[in-house]
């Protein structure tokens, strides 16, 4: 499963990827605003947005991209590793 993570802490980038690998997911992490975000995202199975540590502009950009490309999106209000693992667990149980 391919997942894009938007937001979160820069220092946690590696931990987010390790957690995703535990659940059999390939993860791209964007912790800050990127020009042409739509090109960077690609076509993942799901977009997870961590809304506590990200700009409103980046979230609204990501929502427009998800709507345009018809991508599943999940908003998580906490950027802790535990929150990410819970979200990944829910996703993997839905696909299994």
**H or E stretch at 65:** helix 56-69
Domains of the chain listed by start with CATH number: 2-95 (3.40.50.10330)
**Confidence (pLDDT) at 90:** 92
**Confidence (pLDDT) at 77:** 93
What pTM does this model have? Answer: 0.90
What does pLDDT average to over the chain? 91
- Residue 73 · residue 46 · CB < 8 Å: yes
pLDDT more than 70, % of the chain:
99
Q: Which residues touch 56 (CB under 8 Å, ≥6 apart)?
A: none
Tokens 């809304």 identify what position? 51
pLDDT single digits (tens) 24-41? 999 999 988 888 888 888
- Find the mean pLDDT for residues 40-66: 91
- Residue 76 · residue 46 · CB < 8 Å: no
pLDDT single digits (tens) 6-18? 999 999 999 999 9
Phi then psi for residue 5, to 5 deg, are: -110, 125
Q: With a cut of 80, say whether residue 96 has pLDDT above it.
A: no
**Confidence (pLDDT) at 17:** 95
């Amino acid at each position: 499963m391919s997942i894009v993570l938007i937001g979160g802490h820069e220092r946690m980038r590696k931990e987010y990827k390790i957690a995703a690998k535990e659940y059999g997911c390939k993860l791209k992490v964007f912790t800050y605003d990127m020009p042409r975000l739509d090109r960077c995202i690609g076509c993942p199975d799901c977009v997870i947005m961590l809304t506590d540590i990200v700009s409103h502009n980046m979230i609204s950009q990501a929502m427009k991209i998800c709507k345009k490309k018809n991508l599943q999106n999940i908003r998580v209000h906490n950027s802790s590793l535990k929150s990410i693992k819970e979200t990944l667990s829910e996703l993997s149980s839905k696909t299994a």
